[in-house]
Structure 1
């Protein structure tokens, strides 16, 4: 393990991250919102902290190995969550404890969207902008951004890319060089953000709201500049724009890359993961519309409107709100939370277990049923007409088992802090799936739960963002053996 090289990387990246406080400083100056000192001090603490980590080991050089990549990835998200919480902690509005500031920071960076804030409409503009920007940076993964600049740091980045990129298969690169892959992804990500902001602005948002919401929409984060979230605008056009971009950004970004490179969209319809994802959305929208209309919760027009938006928002793990799905009748709140376990496609900004994993689990289940009828038959698991390697299928089942085990342990832990079963169940789902809103006490915010519960949920958000194994592997004795 190259600990000194790892320390140098973390120090450099923390100093790079300090640049993210410059835009909020500019916003604070423009609006004179009284939060300037929090960001100035925060900028200084970030630069100084990164410098102190980097300076003693500044001359260290070396290629990161696979284990180093895992450790850097976990350390960076943890350290970044800590340094990112500084402006929240120093700000006088809102006045947050260290636990709450850290919770809000990690929630933003992991694109979870769970918040402990109330009275969001009255917060300083720079704080609002900073929250949204944290989600935008975390959306594609700050590690992937760091990979793009790794050549300048003199350190290879493939190990970081493998550790950070979501999905069961992590060895596929869009371009021959990993740095070019990261740059290509960020070009696409930035373009989607700009187009989304323009769409919001044309649809009636202020320029400030349009930029802020484009950050959290493309990141599938769910933070908003208003307590009522997207419902604040009460606009069908804005809701449709939001739903469209949430869906687009829940697709595998490799599909966007090929669409850009080959000037074609047909591969979207040929991709089995994308088709299965759209099938899940369509079935959930139809079922939700029927239940809402037949129970007279809304008329048919509003039933379709709210069913489409809330289904896309929850299923993609964005977590924006318009009508408060937690109060919907019968099984709908439970159904929508369950769709968040599926989440977005692999290599997307969405959370959850990822669509491709669920598809592989279903196909594996069908294969086992066929084997009962034909015990001696050789039946491969196929996706898109191609056989999937057994090691991949096995890894998916291992991930699924670990995910459920972690979920159960965390839920029991939350119940031990005094939360009721519905709140505990949905709080873990909301954080482990990087969703945001839950049910019960956490339907609107996580303010009322205890500090121990918030610490557990911070751990759940990191587990979800790093897809469980990347973080859990650090707790195995084998990882630390020479």
Structure 2
């Protein structure tokens, strides 16, 4: 294990991340909200930490192997979350202890969107902007951004990319060079963000809110600058713009690249995962609309359609935005949408959850086993579209599902141990492990009431969810540490 090379890279990445403290400092200066000092201090502290870690190991340059890639990704997200908590901890407003600061930081970077803050409208603009910016960087993965930079610093990036990129198939690259792959991903990501911000602005948001909500929408994060979230704007057009860009961001980004490069929109409809995703979304929208209409939650059918469609998309894509307190809906709908968040978006997107392709493969495998019961001697192959799926991938998906269930149970039991009630513990685990955000019970509005021990447990859940279980879990195996 090339420990000194890993430490060197970690130092470089922390130093790069320190630059993200400067835009909020500028926002504080622009709005004269008095919150600039914590960000300036955090910038210098982060830069100093990065330099101190990097300098003694600056000459250690060696090619990363797969094991080193996994370790540095986990270390990077862990250290980055801790460094990102500095402005929250140092700020006078809001007044946050270490556990709350770490929770808010990791929630931002992992695009979970769970928050311990209330009274967002009264907070400094710099703090509000920083939360949204963290989600934007975390959405595509700061590692992927760093992969585009690291080759210039003498570090290969393929191992990092394979360890961090979500989805069951990680060896496919859009371009021959990993740096080119990362750059293409970020150009697409930036383009969608700009389009989203412009759409919000035209629909009635001011420039600050449009940029902030575009960050969290395209990242499928769910942070807002208002306690009422998207519901603050009370605008059908804003709701639909947000839902549209959530759907776009839930699609596999390499698929976006393929459609753009080929200049052919039909590329989308050839993808079996996208077909399954759209089918699930339409079914959820229809079901929410019909239940709200039947229960007469809203005065007319158009309001039921507006809120039903938005909330179905927001929860199932793991964004967690809200237009109303969905926890007050008939219990069937909140539970349904929380379970829908387990599916999440497509692999290679900014959404959380298990990912549609994994759920699709689990369904097809179950169907194959049923067919084998009827025809034991027949040979059945699992296909996505017209392409057969190797049994090795199917086995990996089942392994992932088993690991996911194990981690879920351990985290939920841990939350029960520190005093949370059943429904709050279950939905808090689902909300953080799926990078969703809101839950039910004590965590329906925010996570401020969760005890500090529970916040630390949920931070671990967010990391597990962001790194898709295996990347972190593999570090706990004896085989990983054997030379």
TM-score (norm 2): 0.99
**Residue pairs, 1:272-287, within 5 angstroms:** 272-287=272-287
SS in 1 for 2:167: coil
Stretches of structure 2 that go unaligned for 5 or more consecutive residues are none
What is the CA distance between 1:260 and its match in structure 2? 1.4
**Residue pairs, 1:72-471, within 5 angstroms:** 72-298=72-298, 299-471=300-472
SS in 2 for 1:161: helix
What is the CA distance between 1:267 and its match in structure 2? 1.4
**Separation in 2 of the partners of 1:462 and 1:153?**
27
What is the CA distance between 1:220 and its match in structure 2? 0.3
**Separation in 1 of the partners of 2:99 and 2:417?**
19
Greater alpha carbon shift after TM alignment, 291-300 vs 313-322? 291-300
What is the CA distance between 1:184 and its match in structure 2? 0.1
What is the CA distance between 1:301 and its match in structure 2? 1.1
What is the CA distance between 1:386 and its match in structure 2? 1.1
SS in 2 for 1:321: coil
Please state if 1:23 is matched with 2:20: no
SS in 2 for 1:118: coil
Stretches of structure 1 that go unaligned for 5 or more consecutive residues are none
Residue in 2 that maps onto 1:475: 476
What is the CA distance between 1:270 and its match in structure 2? 1.7
**Separation in 2 of the partners of 1:26 and 1:147?**
27
Q: Deviations over 1:321-343 (max 9, x none)?
A: 10111111131110000000000
What is the CA distance between 1:70 and its match in structure 2? 0.2
**Separation in 1 of the partners of 2:68 and 2:202?**
46
Root mean square deviation, CA, Å:
0.6
What is the CA distance between 1:401 and its match in structure 2? 0.7
What is the CA distance between 1:209 and its match in structure 2? 0.2
**Separation in 1 of the partners of 2:335 and 2:402?**
21
What is the CA distance between 1:420 and its match in structure 2? 0.9
Aligned length: 482
What is the CA distance between 1:10 and its match in structure 2? 0.3
What is the CA distance between 1:467 and its match in structure 2? 0.1
**Separation in 2 of the partners of 1:88 and 1:263?**
44
Greater alpha carbon shift after TM alignment, 326-335 vs 349-358? 326-335
Q: Deviations over 1:384-435 (max 9, x none)?
A: 1111000000000000011011111111111111111110000000000000
**Separation in 1 of the partners of 2:270 and 2:243?**
22
**Separation in 1 of the partners of 2:410 and 2:60?**
40
Residue in 2 that maps onto 1:57: 57
What is the CA distance between 1:263 and its match in structure 2? 1.3
Greater alpha carbon shift after TM alignment, 41-50 vs 299-308? 299-308
What is the CA distance between 1:276 and its match in structure 2? 0.4
Residue in 2 that maps onto 1:69: 69
What is the CA distance between 1:355 and its match in structure 2? 0.3
Please state if 1:3 is matched with 2:3: yes
**Separation in 1 of the partners of 2:402 and 2:180?**
35
What is the CA distance between 1:269 and its match in structure 2? 1.5
**Separation in 2 of the partners of 1:107 and 1:343?**
17
- Extract structure 1 runs of 4+ deviating beyond 3 A: none
What is the CA distance between 1:264 and its match in structure 2? 1.5
Q: Deviations over 1:85-109 (max 9, x none)?
A: 0000000000100110010000000
SS in 2 for 1:6: helix
Q: Deviations over 1:367-388 (max 9, x none)?
A: 0000001101110111111110
